[in-house]
Amino acid sequence: MNIENIKEAIEADAGEIFPDLEKSLKESIAGQHERVYTPEQILIRDARKQLKLSQQAFADLINTPVATLRDWEQGRYTPPGVMLKLAEIVLHHPEVFKHVA
């Protein structure tokens, strides 16, 4: 497996250079994995950041304990479907939350 060829193919496909890509590919092949984020974690975190709220403020907004929100963002638990849908709405229509945030 030629890592340089893989790196070049990925960068050519993306149309940009990824400075740490070669290192990441070598680590992946060696089985050295860093923390993995789920789409659900990223969605919840991005929704909170879209509203520019702290974890505590976002938890208050959605009437959820901050510990639960942290569990979702850290991947210990998957948020319920309704929370994932709410996060999608926040990302696509943040103006809806201006009067409640």
Q: What is the mean pLDDT of the chain?
A: 90
- Residue 27 CA, distance from chain mean position: 21
58-92 pLDDT, tens digit per residue, is 999 999 999 999 999 999 999 999 999 999 999 99
The CATH number of 39-97, from 3.30.450.40, 1.10.260.40, 3.90.1300.10, 3.40.50.10800, is 1.10.260.40
Cut 0.85: pTM above it: no
**87: burial class by Cβ within 10 Å (0-12, 13-18, 19+)?**
buried
> Each residue of 30-42: b (16+ CB within 10 Å) or e?
eeeeeeeeeebbe
Q: What residue ranges do the domains of the chain occupy?
A: 1-34, 39-97
